[in-house]
Structure 1
Amino acid sequence: MKNPIYRSVVELRAALGAGEITATRIVDAHLEQIFVHNRAINALVTVDETGARESARESDEARARGEDPGPLHGIPFTVKDMFETKGLRTTNGHKPLANNIPERDATVVARLREAGGTLLAKSNMPAQGMDIQCENALFGATKNPWDLSRTPGGSTGGEAAALAAGMTPLGIGSDIGGSLRIPAHYCGVFACKPTEGLVPRTGLLLPGTVNTVRHMVACGPMARSVADLRLALRIMAGPDGVDPSVVPVPLKEFPLRPLKDHRFAWTDDFGGLPVTASTREAMEKLASDLRDAG
């Protein structure tokens, strides 16, 4: 594999297993992509260059010793800046936390590391994750890689922009009312909001109080393929003994069914919201294509 940029996690795993590339090469390539493009896009706010290179070196040495590499061994990932990362700044996009250095990893970060993943950087977000754009007083605005005059959406906008720009193959974010799904849509990548009680929120800097929106927050993956989402979610899911909302329910593999066995509901304006003519035409075409498929 000559160029690991824009490759899926599944593809990178296969190339690592076949000896076609090293973890060091993968991390170096993504760091170079960050150095070239992040100044204009502002997707990543804290880059752990030293830690990422050291982790990649250790991954290569472990593989050379024939050790079990783990499902993410040698794969870099980035996380939204509201997840605690041990020894690495975590601000929640909030000025009072500008110099906050956690002493622990959030559970999902720890699990990705334990699976062999290499933490590459922290991504930008609106203050405390409470907006559908991606701008804060600490780091400024993140731009959409497809059009720098537009937003990548929010609140997990930094992750979506980084994925779309090839700065990372895998991202981790959070979602209440679309914070993973909206930026994924804006940037042309994939995201999943897991069912409540599936993924621990331990180490996530949650907004509000216990009785407001906190119970609605879900931690989930963002990537450039559905297969990568499935892989990451299996690593992230399950009780951690700290978050009482997470139950020990195993993830199931659901069989693929033909489109004719599904029913779809659709709207082009959600009952009266203004939409462009091109959006309306695209929705009508999608509905027609689904109807033609059975």
Structure 2
Amino acid sequence: MNDLVFRSAGELATAIAAKEVSSVELLDHYLTRLDRFDSQVNAIVARDDESARAAARAADRKVSRGESLGPLHGVPVTIKDSLEVAGMRTTGGSHRWGHHVSTVDAEAVSRLKKAGAIVFGKSNLPADARDWQTYNELYGTTNNPWDATRGPGGSSGGSAAALAAGLTGLELGGDTAGSIRVPSHFCGVYGLRPSYGIVPRHGSVSGHAPGSLAEFDMAVLGPLGRHADDLALGLDVIAGPDRDNSPAWRLDLPPSRARDLREFRVAAWLDDPFCPVDRELVTVMETMLAAVRSEGATVIERKGPVGLEETMTLYRPLLMAQSGLIEPDVSYSALVEHSMAEGAAAGPASELTVRFRDWHAHDERRQQSRRRWAKFFDDVDVLLCPVSPTAAFPHDHRPDPGWSVRTLRIDGKERPYREMLSWVAPASLNYLPAAVAPIGATRDGLPIGIQVIAPYLHDGTAIRFVQCLAQTMGGFRRPPGF
């Protein structure tokens, strides 16, 4: 059974349908593993064993009656605690929503349930999903299963840690600034940031009050799993128009541009002086690239069409303006006053309180950037680049609202913590799909992932590439002791 829980979500559904294992048996085993291992990780911060067992029993009855089954039938899954799950607390890691009990499911959660998934818990995240470390005052710190002195990334850190430790069958997270991609990289699992706009975010309290309907720029929901196939299955279940738009349109994503590695045209951008990448990571990525070449892929070394420095000048103002939405009214009013008094000298205050006229100008520059990226992909299928400049780093919970106190250690030198933004920014800013796949490890055994960026709405191309890469590089590895 211990090996069974590390299978892909699709394989688990197949095993349940074939009566190799029942949904109740599988759920109970995940719950037993939670009791045994989660004290080391603190990935799952809320459980609903009773409701999950009732749903699992109902799933098993369907199997016994020979009824038609969904693609995730009977599979136990967990959900990031920024997404509403009916009957459970949904806090976003924040005291503001600490007592909020959801009465409805987020749209994406509802789709997972309709596909047969059994939701049994919520995974941890940083307060308001605003860090690449996972800790908050409500639920404490989540540790990396590969090294408990280090974080699992953020903000979907509980999601990735739970998968790596074998505590859940599939996870649903969110990503605006690498929140799916960084944890996947740090924990050695697969993650997908879908193209912006193809997965409804209704029911997210990340940046929203519960019940909000307004969209959040650059923010997406996406699947995390232990296997590349989980990304395809998860996206197929959760993508598509919401009910307001479904009468008029449907989602019809194009197939992958290539089916195996020898058909792929690959651009590689493995390092950059604007945001240097630790040499250990570059070496592993170069080894991966050599393997891809040996399989027949066409590989060229080519930077993205918009450099990291220019990307950050476009991305940061849009991201900071959005972050201002999370500020409480009193503190936001103070920021407005400070910005009006000091102008550009107000620094972050002016970015958090940007005028719509200025936001629109930033957005126009972003749209021009998107055009350049679309042209870039005319003769390239995917771009391979780092997820971050480092592997998982030690816990550092010093208060740092402006990202000016904490640092990253890259090749023995201190670098600004805000450089965690640099490599995730191109896909976020330009609404592009980006998948992350494990490709190796540091000398200390910490996972290393590669980011695979594809053209807008070509999510299938990014997913197919990581599926092919898994066959070449070996895919997910189980952390020692789990």
Aligned-pair CA distance for 1:115: 1.4
1:24 and 1:53 in contact (8 A); partners too: yes
Aligned to 1:284: 286
Q: Amino acid of the residue matched to residue 290 of structure 2?
A: S
Closer/same/farther in 2, CA of residues 259 and 91 from structure 1, 3 Å limit: same
Q: Amino acid of the residue matched to residue 99 of structure 1?
A: H
- Write the distance in 2 (CA, Å) between the matches of 1:148 and 1:243: 44
- Write the distance in 2 (CA, Å) between the matches of 1:254 and 1:280: 27
Closer/same/farther in 2, CA of residues 195 and 280 from structure 1, 3 Å limit: closer
Q: Which has the higher helix share?
A: 2
Aligned to 2:241: 239
- The count of aligned residue pairs is 292
2:173 and 2:224 in contact (8 A); partners too: yes
2:124 and 2:159 in contact (8 A); partners too: yes
Aligned to 2:91: 91
2:90 and 2:97 in contact (8 A); partners too: yes
Q: Amino acid of the residue matched to residue 54 of structure 2?
A: E
Q: What SS is found at the alignment partner of 2:224?
A: strand
Residues 222-254 of structure 1 deviation map (CA, whole Å, 9 limit, x = unaligned): 11112111111111011122489x962223432
Q: Amino acid of the residue matched to residue 42 of structure 2?
A: N
- Write the distance in 2 (CA, Å) between the matches of 1:5 and 1:88: 24
Residues 15-49 of structure 1 deviation map (CA, whole Å, 9 limit, x = unaligned): 11221110111100111111111111000110111
Query: Is 2:218 the partner of 1:216?
Result: yes
Aligned-pair CA distance for 1:60: 0.8
Identity of aligned residues (%): 39
2:10 and 2:71 in contact (8 A); partners too: no
Query: Is 2:255 the partner of 1:264?
Result: no
Aligned to 2:136: 136
Closer/same/farther in 2, CA of residues 83 and 28 from structure 1, 3 Å limit: same
Q: What SS is found at the alignment partner of 1:221?
A: strand
- Write the distance in 1 (CA, Å) between the matches of 2:117 and 2:142: 25
Which range is displaced more, 194-203 or 212-221?
A: 212-221
Alignment of 1:73-92 (within 5 A): 73-92=73-92
Residues 185-215 of structure 1 deviation map (CA, whole Å, 9 limit, x = unaligned): 11111111111121101111131799x9922
Aligned to 1:14: 14
Aligned-pair CA distance for 1:266: 2.7
Aligned to 2:456: none
Query: Is 2:200 the partner of 1:200?
Result: yes
Any unmatched runs of 5+ in structure 1?
none
1:202 and 1:243 in contact (8 A); partners too: no
Q: Amino acid of the residue matched to residue 59 of structure 2?
A: S
Aligned-pair CA distance for 1:3: 5.0
2:92 and 2:206 in contact (8 A); partners too: no
Any unmatched runs of 5+ in structure 2?
297-482
1:197 and 1:247 in contact (8 A); partners too: no
- Write the distance in 1 (CA, Å) between the matches of 2:261 and 2:15: 33
- Write the distance in 2 (CA, Å) between the matches of 1:253 and 1:284: 28
Aligned to 2:125: 125
Aligned-pair CA distance for 1:143: 0.4
Closer/same/farther in 2, CA of residues 147 and 231 from structure 1, 3 Å limit: same
Q: What SS is found at the alignment partner of 1:265?
A: strand
Q: Could you say what the CA RMSD is over the residues aligned between the two structures, in angstroms?
A: 2.3
- Write the distance in 2 (CA, Å) between the matches of 1:232 and 1:293: 27
Alignment of 1:31-70 (within 5 A): 31-70=31-70
- Write the distance in 2 (CA, Å) between the matches of 1:113 and 1:251: 23
Closer/same/farther in 2, CA of residues 2 and 285 from structure 1, 3 Å limit: closer
- TM-score, structure 1 normalization: 0.92
Q: Amino acid of the residue matched to residue 106 of structure 1?
A: A
Q: Amino acid of the residue matched to residue 224 of structure 1?
A: R
Aligned-pair CA distance for 1:273: 3.1
- Write the distance in 2 (CA, Å) between the matches of 1:85 and 1:279: 37
- Write the distance in 1 (CA, Å) between the matches of 2:4 and 2:295: 35
Q: What SS is found at the alignment partner of 1:214?
A: coil
